[in-house]
Structure 1
């Protein structure tokens, strides 16, 4: 048997696995099983989240949207199913921390299948030191937490608009 016979893909234009009659190639089956094993074991070990966020399985939960203008930074976090009393918002040294707990509604674990996340979470966002920490405000409506972080006078004064030369 040559090494070429061990490769499950043909050398033609298509990249489909080659089959021997009605039986599937045993090496292709082994390849798929090993891939599935690694997918299940390492699920969630992805690239690090943006803005220094940390959450279960590096999945950056809760998901956030960050808007910035000359006067403020606004962070909107999706926290469905969590009451506002279950969320803690902290600002310290230019770092915004969102922390809380999504509690399980039922205790019958034997008869339940769930893809929802239950448990404690913490998301940290590095925003810089240009935030006026005394004027930070947070609102909650329909599962969305909106945190408004006003910029300091110094940060607002340092904004410079550069005009783009369109003549070239």
Structure 2
């Protein structure tokens, strides 16, 4: 007989992740807790800006892919803190994978997308294509 841990909220969490298009809080394959970074987006005159809060995530652990007119930001973070004093030893660690994806507007210059990470904040710059304004031609009514 196989013994499994009962989680009364598992089905509710799965329903919530499907309804709100988020990521499951707990993976069935392994008991790794998902990391859900917050994202801010804004539109400027010449570009779209996406800022992702990624505290504790190294630049090397961040992946940005463009696929099927979507930008996919993914990666993983791991944290380990050890503290040893004469009367105790403490180790804390956490691990989490994340993935966020967004549909790209039609006027994004995909070839010139830039990304930078500083102080735990990833900024992705999505430049807009330069659209030349069509010259207005006046038509005389006869």
TM-score, structure 2 normalization? 0.62
Q: 3-state SS of the aligned residue for 1:149?
A: strand
Q: Distance in 1 between matches of 2:108 and 2:20?
A: 24
Superposition map of 1:77-156 within 5 A: 77-105=52-80, 118-154=95-131
Structure 2 residue 25 is the aligned partner of structure 1 residue 57: yes
What is the alpha-carbon root mean square deviation over aligned residues? 3.3
For residue 76 of structure 1, the aligned residue among 20, 36, 51 is 51
Q: Provide the residue aligned with 1:33 in structure 2.
A: none
Q: Distance in 2 between matches of 1:96 and 1:157?
A: 28
- Structure showing greater radius of gyration is 1
* CA apart distance, 1:134: 1.2
Change (3 A) 1:43 1:100: same
For residue 48 of structure 1, the aligned residue among 20, 33, 54 is 20
How many matched pairs?
111
TM-score, structure 1 normalization? 0.53
Q: Distance in 1 between matches of 2:129 and 2:23?
A: 29
* CA apart distance, 1:93: 4.2
Q: Provide the residue aligned with 2:140 in structure 1.
A: none
Where does structure 1 lack aligned partners over 5 or more consecutive residues?
Answer: 1-36, 159-168
1:55/1:123 contact within 8 Å kept: no
Structure 2 residue 42 is the aligned partner of structure 1 residue 67: yes
C-alpha deviations, 1:87-130, integer Å up to 9, x for none? 01122343111111112537xxxx8787x6x2322111112232
Superposition map of 1:4-15 within 5 A: none
The structure 1 segments of at least 4 consecutive aligned residues displaced by more than 6 Å after TM superposition are 111-114
Higher strand share: 2
